Amino acid sequence: MTTPFKAPARRRSATLAALAALGLTCALGAQAIAAEQQTITMWSHWPDEASKRTFIEARVKEFEAADPQCKVNLQFVQKADLYTSVKTSVRTGQAPDIFWLEPDEIAFAKSGYLEPLDNYIDLNNLEDWAKRSWTWEGKVYAMPQEAYSVELYYNVDLMKKLGVQVPENGQMNQAQFTDMVKKSVAAGITPLAQGVGDRPYPGAYFLGEVLLRKLGPDDYGRLLTGKLSFQDPRVVETLTWVKELVDAGAYPKSLATLKLGESHYYFHTNPGALMFPIASWYTGRAFVSPDKGGQPKDFSLGLMNYPVMSDSKCPECKTLAVGGSYVMYARSKKKECAGKMLKSLATVENGNKWMEGVLLQTGVKTDPSRITGIYAPYFKALLKRSEGATFFIGTPLHFMSGKCGDTFAQVLNRAFPGGFLSVKEATAQMDAACTAKS
C-alpha cells in the first residue's frame, strides 16, 4: 500500500501563503481592471453649436486615449433641460460627475453641490479674471471653458445701402446712432435683431452696454449690486434714450417670442437686420454651414463698438464674462477620473485649440497669435474692437439673483425693450426688487 505523500508542516504553510498571495494578486488585478473601466458621466450644453461640440468631443477622445483607465460618457443637452435636470439630481445624489454651468449659477457651489477644483487642475493655466468668476470662499469651482465679450455686430452691406459710415474707431455718438436707427426703420429694415423667447438676458444687452459706458465700471457695479438706485439721473437719462429707440422701432415686433437661435437667423438671413447686440459666442452658431443655420457664405459681417452718450464716464468700457464652464459634482464617486478630465481641458494647448476652432475667447490662457485659417480676419477684427478697452467682468445676471434677477429678466430684458413699460415704471420696479434698503 502506497503511503500518501504528506508535505511537512513548514512547506504546507509556505504553499498556503503563496496561494493567498496569488489570490490577493488576482483580487488586486481585478480591481485594476475595474479601475481601467471606470466611466464618468459628463453633461454639456451646445448640442446645436457644431464648433463647440466638435471641440469637446475631440478633447474627450484625446483624454481617453491618454488615460485608458478613464472613460467618458459624454452627452450634449440643451441648456434649459440641462439646468432642470441637474437642479433636481444634485439633491438626490444622481447628478453627473461633470456638468456644464455658467457663473450666474454659483449658488450650486454655495449650497455645497460642487467640488473645489484647486487640487485637480493647474490654476496657473486659467486667467485671473476667469478664476474670480468662479471663486467662493477662496476656492475655484469650475473650469471656465468659454468666455465672451458683448459685441455689436452689423451687416456691412445694409449699412452701405443706408449710406451710413461707421467711424474708424467703430463708435458712434448718441445723435449718430439715433439717426442710423431712424434711417433703418424708414428703409423697412429692423435696426436691432433680438429675441428673448427662451433667454433672460439678450434684450438688455444694448441697454447694459450703454449704461456701463455712461456710469463707468464702479457705479455700474454698484447699480447691479443694489447700491445705486435705478432712479439715479444718469440711469434715467440712459433709459430715456433707449426708450426713444424702442419707440422708433429699434427691435423686432416678435422680440418676446423670438428665441435666441432664431434671432441669429433673423439677423443674417431672414428677414435680415442691420445690427445684432450679442455676445461674441455669435460665431458658435454663425460660422457653420448655411444649411445648419449659419450665416450665408457671402454675408459681410462687421463689428462696431456700442454708442456712447454725452458725458459718459467710460467710453472705452466693455463687458467681458465667463460663459459655459465645467464643474464637478461634490458627491461624485469618481472624482479622480473627473478631475483628470477637467485638468486635461485646462491647458494652454487646449486653450489655443478652442480659440482656433471656435473663434471665441476662453478663460484658459491662450496665445492669440496662433489664430489662422479663413476666419482669422474676423478674430483680428474682434481683437481690434477690444484694443484699449477697460473691461468690466460679468454680465448683470452674474450679480443679480432671486427677485432682483427675475425682475431684470421680465423688465429690462423683456417688457422695456418690448415697449410695454415707461422709464418711470421700469426704474420703479427695478428699485423695488434690487436696490438695497438702508
The residue type of 393 is I
The residue type of 240 is T
Mean pLDDT, rounded, for 4-8:
40
The predicted structure's pLDDT at residue 123: 98
Contact 194, 258 (CB under 8 A): yes
Pick the residue with more confidence: 432 or 17?
Answer: 432
The predicted structure's pLDDT at residue 311: 95
**Could you tell me the maximum CA-CA distance found in the chain, to the nearest angstrom?**
119
Instruction: Compute φ and ψ for 44, nearest 5 degrees.
Output: -130, 150
35-146+323-366 adopts what CATH topology? D-Maltodextrin-Binding Protein; domain 2 (3.40.190)
The predicted structure's pLDDT at residue 288: 87
Residue with cell 446712432: 177
Residue with cell 455669435: 282
Per-residue pLDDT band at 130 (split at 50, 70, 90): very high
Delimit the domains of the chain by residue range. Answer: 35-146+323-366, 148-321+377-434
Are 35-146+323-366 and 148-321+377-434 equal in CATH topology?
yes
Q: What is the pLDDT of residues 334-386, one digit of tens each?
A: 999 999 999 999 999 999 999 888 889 999 999 877 777 788 888 889 988 99
Least confident of 21-25, 69-73, 286-290: 21-25
- Given a cut of 70, whether residue 151 has pLDDT beyond it is yes
- Given a cut of 80, whether residue 158 has pLDDT beyond it is yes
Name the burial class of residue 176, with classes exposed (0-12), middle (13-18) and buried (19+) by CB atoms within 10 angstroms of its CB.
middle
Beta bridge partners of 329: 114
User: Parallel, antiparallel, or unpaired: how do β-strands 139-140 and 273-279 relate?
Assistant: unpaired
- Given a cut of 70, whether residue 171 has pLDDT beyond it is yes
Per CATH, is 148-321+377-434 categorized as 3.40.50.150? no
Q: Which three cell numbers stand for residue 187?
A: 428703409
The predicted structure's pLDDT at residue 437: 65
Contact 423, 417 (CB under 8 A): no
